[in-house]
A and B are shown apart, each in its own frame.
Chain A
Amino acid sequence: MSYGRAGTSEVRETRTGERRVTLTVNGERRVVEVEPRLLLAHLLREGLSLRGTHLGCDTTNCGACTVLLDGEPVKSCTMLAVQADGHEVTTVEGLGTPGELDPVQEGFSREHGLQCGFCTAGMMLTARALLDRVPDPSEEDVRWALSGNLCRCTGYQNIVKAVLWAADQERTS
């Protein structure tokens, strides 16, 4: 595989079978050459060094690898990188910056929404998508929306609190 930023000449010759893919990752246009069998999770982690996206089960069950595709949560271990051609991908690195956290990130920090942190990136991205669609979710809405993201540590209580905190914060600020 080879990876480059749009508009540069970094993109190398296409090896047999490799495909050129143009996608937007965290607001930045990227042009990459990938084998069709490369999974989106691996493109992000290894190709683009965005290691905030975690691989948990690698069998489409846990949601740790969740990223946003055009704003909707998808399991990046269950999508080919070539399928992201022409689309926008948001990973946890695109959610906020250390200086300016997304309210969801701040909520997780304040309400202790994580322990080991392995599930956290996926949780926060799913939560972000929920709040973009439903700014005033009930606790039941939050639990329902997060039901595809598994956490082995927290028992979910503080995760739900974190998301409700963020919702509240966004409505009142």
Chain B
Amino acid sequence: MYPSRFRYEAPHSLDEARSLLAQYGDEAKVLAGGQSLVPLLKLRFAAPELLVDINGVPGLGHHRVEAGVLRVGALCRHVDLERSSVLARHPLVASAAPLIADPIVRNRGTLVGSLCHADPQGDWASVLLALGGHVVAEGPHGRRPIPMAEFTLGPFQNALRPGEIAVEAVAPAPRGQVSGRYLKLERRVGDFATVGVAVALETDGDRVVRAGIALTGVGPHTIAATAAEQALVGRPLTAATVEEAAQLAAEASRPKGDHRGSVAYKRHVVATFVRRGLARTDLEAVA
């Protein structure tokens, strides 16, 4: 399968990339890992006039923790996060990375590209949503942060304006004791989630300071399980509060029954994953 014809540019600076994007507006597409875009080009679901390959732009490959804040550059690959040694206080990110796609796709694909792609089945959107993260966009009018909750507008639609490029995804510094992880039910490696649940938890003693719970694959888009989060914040993490959160998250899900499972089954898995995600080995009550 061949993509239709396009012009290809591989700028060596962010300025150059931005001015190409500004010039072509809607007719241009950024090429990052290409693991979603190239398949779309081949199927001719996408046929941009210009591809701006950012792989040669310096200063985008990083991921680092500064004063507790995690910054993931636009060229940081899934595999970099999978093998990272700086994610001790970001267990949700560390646990999600090896569950994205398959090992070969992870060598190329990027977290930021995944957010931009805005596939309702994408795993990273749930992770960033649960963390209360944001995307940093750079465009003709400078830099602006876009909260993850506002970044995805719909299936395959993001909040970037024509001419803007996403340079970084950012997760804020967690407070207190950090736990949580990403749980994903998939039929085989490389499959999208039948059910995915992202749990980010910050506690002070046994009291919950912040809870983030987001759901993948069980609705028309990534779902923030806000009621479940609110049921936890300010309260101790006990079997009862965990159970309440699990049920509220299951209620917030809007799965469709399909070959991967029935509605009831998927809801059940959501509740189970929330329980497991909240489990802290140091707190007996939840075990």
Q: Which residues between 106 and 125 of chain A lie within 8 Å of chain B, taking CB atoms?
A: none
Residues of chain A lying within 8 A (CB to CB) of residue B155: none
Q: Does B3 contact A (CB under 8 A)?
A: yes
Contact between A35 and B105, CB atoms less than 8 A apart = no
Q: Does B107 contact A (CB under 8 A)?
A: yes
Q: Does A154 contact B (CB under 8 A)?
A: no
Residues of chain A lying within 8 A (CB to CB) of residue B108: 74-75, 78-79
Query: What are the interface flags for B46-59 relative to A under an 8 Å C-beta threshold, 1 for contact and 0 otherwise?
Result: 00000101010000
Contact between B2 and A36, CB atoms less than 8 A apart = no
Which residue of chain B has its CB nearest to the CB of A38?
A: B2
Contact between B6 and A36, CB atoms less than 8 A apart = yes
Contact between A37 and B6, CB atoms less than 8 A apart = yes
A149 to B105 CA separation, bound complex (whole angstroms):
11
Contact between B2 and A37, CB atoms less than 8 A apart = yes
Query: What are the interface flags for A26-70 relative to B under an 8 Å C-beta threshold, 1 for contact and 0 otherwise?
Result: 000000000111110010000000000000001111010010000
**How many chain B residues touch the partner (CB < 8 A)?**
29
Residues of chain A lying within 8 A (CB to CB) of residue B38: 39, 60, 78-80
Q: Which of B4, B104, B189, B190 contacts A74 (CB 8 A)?
A: B104
Contact between A145 and B103, CB atoms less than 8 A apart = yes
Contact between B39 and A82, CB atoms less than 8 A apart = no
Q: Does B259 contact A (CB under 8 A)?
A: no
- Chain B interface residues toward A at CB < 8 A: 1-8, 10, 31, 34-35, 38-39, 41-42, 51, 53, 55, 79, 101-105, 107-108, 189-190
- Chain A interface residues toward B at CB < 8 A: 17, 19, 35-39, 42, 58-61, 63, 66, 72-75, 77-80, 82-83, 85, 126, 144-149
